[in-house]
Amino acid sequence: MTRKILLATAAAMALLAGPALAQKVVRIGMTAADIPRTLGQPDQGFEGNRFTGLTMYDGLTLWDLSSADKPSVVIPGLATEWSVAADDKTKWTFKLRAGVKFHDGSAFDADAVVWNVQKVLDQAAAHFDASQVGVTASRMPTLRGARKIDALTVELTTSQPDSFLPINLTNLFIASPAQWNKLLAAVPAAVGDPKERAKQAWEAFARDASGTGPWKMARFVPRERLEVVKNPDYWNKDRVPKVDRMVMLPMPEANARTAALLSGQVDWIEAPAPDAVPQLKARGMTVHANAQPHVWPWQFSRVEGSPWNDVRVRKAANLCVNRGEMKQLLNGLMVEAKGTVPPGHPWWGNPSFDIKYDPEQARKLMAEAGFSRQKPLTVKTQTSASGSGQMQPLPMNEFMQQNLAECFFKVELDVIEWNTLFTNWRKGAKDESARGSHAINVTYAAMDPFFAMIRFLDSKMAPPVSNNWGFINEPDYDRMVQEARTTFDAAARDAALARLHARSVNDAAFLWVAHDVGPRAMSPRIKGHVQPKSWFVDFSPMTID
Amino acid sequence: MSAPAAALTPVAAPAARGYWANVGRRLTRDPVSMACLGVLALILLAAVFAPYLGLADPYRGSMIRRLRPIGTEGYPLGTDELGRDMLSRLIHGGRLSLLIGILPVINAFVIGSLLGILAGYVGGRVNMAIMRTIDVFFAFPSVLLAIAISGALGAGIVNSLVSLTVVFVPPITRVAESVTTGVRNLDFVDAARASGAGALTVMRVHILGNVLGPIFVYATSLISVSMILASGLSFLGLGTKPPEPEWGLMLNTLRTAIYVNPWVAALPGAMIFAVSICFNLLSDGLRSAMDVRR
Amino acid sequence: MLLYILRRLLYVLPVALAVSLVCFLLVHIAPGDPLISVLPPDASQQLQEEMRKVYGFDRPLPVQFGIWIGRAVQGDLGSSIATGRTVASEVGRAVGNTFILAVAATLLGFVLGALFGFVAGYFRDSWIDKAATTLAIAGVSLPHYWLGMVLVIVFSVWLGVLPAVGAGPGGSTDWAWDWAHIRHLILPAVTMSVIPMGIVTRTIRALVGDILSQEFVDALRAKGLTDGGVFLHVVKNAAPTALAVMGVQLGYLLGGSILIETVFSWPGTGFLLNAAIFQRDLPLLQGTILVLALFFVGLNLAVDVVQTALDPRIKRG
């Protein structure tokens, strides 16, 4: 065989294999019933941020998603550094990253940041969009406005001194003003009302989005699929995607997702049905899971007459749950909780009370509190049969019921509908809706200090203001919250939060049970996936054979 | 759900005890109808007396005994996704499933008959007002109407009862109106009037006697549709709420188990199917037994 | 004839108006916050009130209805709260997908039903008749969403020959009548066809039986008409009613596809309705219901008119 023929054959083969080689495509089945909104501020909770926020857009600050072992912390994004004014703690200066371009080619600068703050906070702005306010404003409750200092510097203002602002800002995704203005100009002149024009421009933007993120929008079929392609010019060269195209498909049914993965319709599914995990593994699929900043607790009522007002009883309950066995029953899909955040997290704070399974010690504490096998303590807990983030509430609560019975607790479960439970959570333990419950079982995300701790521990956050359901009123907590909120050096702020966390664990403020692990199953063809300790994922490092 | 032609034909024969006895006799001679009646009676009795049958607690589950297959010792029909006894849940489930399947038809039978007889007997503007309002509801396909109402009101047993009643009132009213109009114009009613019977007497004796039969037969044919729709609502999450045992809802929650234990997951559907087909066959049998032309 | 059509058309107008009022009221008297899909549950009271104002939900109901109906007449059904896309575009796309499914199911159901019905009617009380009648009863008694589940277990999970969900490999926008897409259509269409199959079988069986038992058929036979001739005669007489039944069934399937579309994630109107209900997306919910109901009204009108035109026995009032 001559060299020539060999070359020709190789060329022919390359030609044949060409189309297959040219594009590396990964197809993902999401749990959402619809594609999360694509115009910058996604709906559908954190799954929305995961798929249509962090892919196509960046925030001024970002989450570090590069490691499966370290806790995920806030890192610079479109802003490179930030600081609060020495004289006025409600004014922040953010230095912006130079040389960043939106997908439409326009430059990212201070004007773009001001424009993106206005889109949700300035009702007078032409591009104000009410539909994006809800999901944005509630995640950055103190942000009030933005002002350009120079091309690469902006000043942000808050309503009160708030050191959590940089963490909140991970939820503000920067969309391209130039692209929006171009689409506004394309709205037919027949539409006169400026509000209607703006609305149509946003609708067009959702179909033809432009951000600064590692992925660019390529094809969008509402309610069916979103295709994004890699952005080879992404500003962070380490995070340029390794696959060419990513397809996202909404598949709200756990079984449909599993069937789709098994039949090769998709390469990656979010949250497979736990029951299907053994079968998925048997058919060669890989299942990834890692602790998420999520808490599955019993939140205690601390109103007058609640049995949980006795710290010995609270500690006993925490020591009486066999979390290891619970984990087995969930096919391994949980992490045993030792507090709101796990050991090693910047807010961990080394509490002295070690939450583990120690029924002997628990019974001793209960005996001290005056209870025994003959004279058990009756407690009532409100929970739901299902719900987002609730994992498997009925089996888990039932398991706890059996555990706690060994430590002289007689647990009554009040099972109500998920939406009602969620509403009751805001009404508080004193409300009629609590039906005399001593604890409520609602799960929550614990990424942001406000949502992880402040709203439960600060006495000012009692209903109807926020979710201090049990009316915890502990001057120590209030002081520590205030301290954390007004400490502006990031490390010192985390230290203050760690003190608050340690104090709450030592006081057994909750019955901490589990953290969710965000399971996802993938075809063995996918390599290099990193499952961080986060609700989010970086899709850039993965490859597909 | 177009009204079957047979139900629309007014029964001209005067309602006599002999006629109903005849219908009964013919029905008992039909083996299919009798078999269906037997199956339905068995399911109904089991459901009613479920608490006294010595069954396992239908709410008590256990994570360790989840999704046992059919034929497991102690669990003849296996266990569900929370480890609850399937046999017990299927039998207890009959209570709610039959209730939300049958009650709307009974409600609609009462309301629809009243409205239809009123419209048919009084005629004129009353007829116009009632029948044109009914027409508006005919503009919705039945499934869409049921789901729209339930979707608007939210999940719950009472809400699904309301929505299904609203779905079945219009067709029953239409049948009742047309049968009443037919009977009203028959000679023997005129004769009764001529002989000096008061309006109330005419209505009570002649119209009710001749009208309710056909409406009743028509209503029985709706029960199977109602059963399927009611459990369909629960299946979508618009009917019964967990952890109540109800066939449609059980079908929904067991969907997560079709990879582990498909046949257990299919059981509640088989129950709905069995009840629904029996009601259909029984309704057919009743109709042919009442058909005097035979 | 023209007069008849005109009169029927005029009668449809008040019905359509009443239908839109029912749609609006259904959605608005319902409890629950209309902004639940754009407002997180932990939003402050103040933010909730501000948003209600921005969306116009603070205005009195009659005013809201007036605004909605005024725009609806011009084809503007508002925008979805959850997605911001226009309701008209959402419903338009979904209707197309439901149409593919419903037409396929109706045709399948009609062909099978006509076949069974004719055979059963011709050979009344034979074992063939009994089998066909049983099949028909089973068809109308089956909880079809359950049948769909069973078919998925058998054909997708066990045999792995047909896909479990979706409307094609690339979404519905590039629907084509090729195998890649038709594979996705088979299971939902078969599931959906059992009800029309049952109803058509029963109707045609009764029709054929009736026609054959009439005296003129014997007369025709006596005149020496062949069996084929009698068959044609039967088909001609049964066709108008059978077609009318098929039209009405198509209407039911178009409006009642929600259960099957949910089981198979088929991106049609039922799927949309399900999303609108659970996201409490009021504009989308009332828009979808309105379009489906008006479609049903129109279809019934068309069936009436066609039937009147085809069947000389029906008097035109």
The verdict on residue B31 lying in a domain is: no
Residue B261 Cα, gap to closest chain A Cα (Å): 10
User: Tell me, what's the pLDDT at C316?
Assistant: 44
As given in the structure block, the two tokens for residue A248 are 């996202």
Instruction: Give residue C41's pLDDT.
Output: 60
Cβ-Cβ contacts under 8 Å, B83 against chain A: 395
Contact B228 C248 (CB under 8 A): no
Does residue B239 belong to any structural domain of this protein?
yes
State how far the Cα of C65 lies from the Cα of C82, in Å rounded to an integer: 20
| Alpha carbons A194 and A207: distance in angstroms, whole number | 20
CA separation, residue A56 to residues A131, A448, B135, C30 (Å): 19, 22, 51, 37
Separation in Å, CA C152 to CA A281, A386, C291: 21, 24, 30
Give the pLDDT means over successive 10-residue stretches in chain A (545 positions).
49 44 85 88 87 96 93 94 94 96 96 96 91 82 93 95 94 96 94 89 95 96 91 95 94 80 88 83 92 94 95 97 89 92 94 96 96 95 81 84 92 80 86 91 91 93 88 96 93 95 96 94 95 93 93
Helix, strand or coil for residue A225?
strand
Six-digit token pair at A177? 């003003």
Radius of gyration of chain B (CA): 22
- Please give the residue that has the higher pLDDT: either A138 or C88: C88
Q: How many domains does chain B have?
A: 1
Q: Is B81 on the interface with A (CB under 8 A)?
A: yes
3-state helix, strand, coil in chain C (%, to 5): 75, 0, 25
User: How far is Cα B69 from Cα B67, in angstroms, rounded to an integer?
Assistant: 6
Backbone angles phi, psi at B185, to 5 degrees: -90, 0
Distances (CA, A) of B78 to B54, B62, B72: 17, 13, 6
Inspect the interface and report whether the beta carbons of A395 and B256 lie closer than 8 Å.
Answer: no
Place of tokens 């209903």: A463
pLDDT beyond 60 at C315: no
Q: Looking at this protein, which amino acid is placed at residue A533?
A: K
Nearest to B264 by CA among B273, B246, B251: B251
Question: What does the pLDDT read at residue A14?
Answer: 44
Q: What is the pLDDT of residues B265-281, one digit of tens each?
A: 889 999 999 999 999 99
User: What residue in A sits closest to B65 (Cα-Cα)?
Assistant: A329
Q: How many whole angstroms separate alpha carbon A195 and alpha carbon C33?
A: 24
Out of 1.10.3720.10, 3.90.230.10, 3.30.413.10, 3.40.50.2000, which CATH number does the structure's domain C98-278 have?
Answer: 1.10.3720.10
Rounded to a whole number of angstroms, the distance from the CA of B143 to the nearest CA of chain C is 5
In a domain, B4, yes or no: no
- For C128-156, how does the pLDDT look when each residue is reduced to its tens digit (9 = 90+)? 888 998 899 999 899 988 899 888 878 87
For residue range B169-219, what is the model confidence (pLDDT) as tens digits?
999 999 999 888 888 777 666 777 677 767 677 666 666 677 888 898 899
Distance from CA of C38 to the nearest CA of A (A): 6
How far from each other are the two terminal CA atoms of chain B, in whole angstroms? 25
Residue B269 Cα, gap to closest chain C Cα (Å): 6
Residue B12: per-residue pLDDT: 44
Q: Of A248, A187, A184, whose CA–CA distance to A215 is shortest?
A: A248
pLDDT digits (tens, 9 = 90+) for C27-66: 887 666 677 666 766 666 777 777 777 777 888 888 888 8
CA-nearest of B222, B223, B139 to B175 is B222
Please give the residue range of the domain that contains residue B206: 42-289
Q: Of C38, C149, C280, which to mutate for an interface test with A (greatest number of A Cβ within 10 Å)? A: C38
Q: Reduced to 3 states, what is the DSSP secondary structure of residue A331?
A: coil
Closest CA to A542 of A313, A246, A334: A246
Evaluate whether residue B200 is within a structural domain. Answer: yes
Chain B residues whose beta carbon lies within 8 Å of the beta carbon of residue A253 = 255
Q: Is residue B33 part of a domain?
A: no
pLDDT of B17: 59
Q: Tell how far CA A75 is from the center of its chain.
A: 16
Is C164 in Cβ contact with A260 (below 8 Å)?
Answer: yes
What does the pLDDT read at residue C12? 85
Does pLDDT of C298 surpass 60? yes
DSSP string for residues in chain B: -PPPHHHHS---S---HHHHHHHHHHHHH-HHHHHHHHHHHHHHHHHHTGGGTTPPPTT---GGGTTPPTTBTTBTT-B-TTS-BHHHHHHHHHHHHHHHHHHHHHHHHHHHHHHHHHHHHH-HHHHHHHHHHHHHHHTS-HHHHHHHHHHHH-SSHHHHHHHHHHHHHHHHHHHHHHHHHHHHTSHHHHHHHHTT--HHHIIIIIIIHHHHHHHHHHHHHHHHHHHHHHHHHHHHTSSSPTTS--HHHHHHHHGGGTTT-HHHHHHHHHHHHHHHHHHHHHHHHHHHHH-TT-
Cβ pair A74, A167 in contact under 8 A? yes
Please give the pLDDT value at position A181.
Answer: 96
Cα separation of C113 and C245, whole Å?
Answer: 11
Task: Say whether A135 sits in a helix, a strand or coil.
Answer: helix
Cα separation of C279 and C284, whole Å?
Answer: 10
Which ranges of chain B have pLDDT less than 70?
A: 1-18, 63-64, 187-189, 193, 197, 199, 202-208, 242, 292-294
**Position B19 in a domain:** no
Residue B142 resides in a domain: yes
Joined tokens for residue C292? 């489906």
Q: In A, what residues contact B, Cβ < 8 A? A: 253-255, 258, 273, 275-276, 279, 329, 385-386, 394-395, 398-399, 415, 417
Measured CA to CA, the distance from residue A30 to residue A44 in angstroms comes to 11
pLDDT at C170: 63
CATH number of the domain to which B151 belongs: 1.10.3720.10
Give CA–CA dist A186/A262, Å, rounded: 44
pLDDT at A269: 94
Decide if A480 contacts A500 (C-beta within 8 A). yes
Interface of C with A in 115-174 (CB under 8 A): 152, 156-157, 160, 163-167, 169-173
Helix (H), strand (E) at residue A389:
none
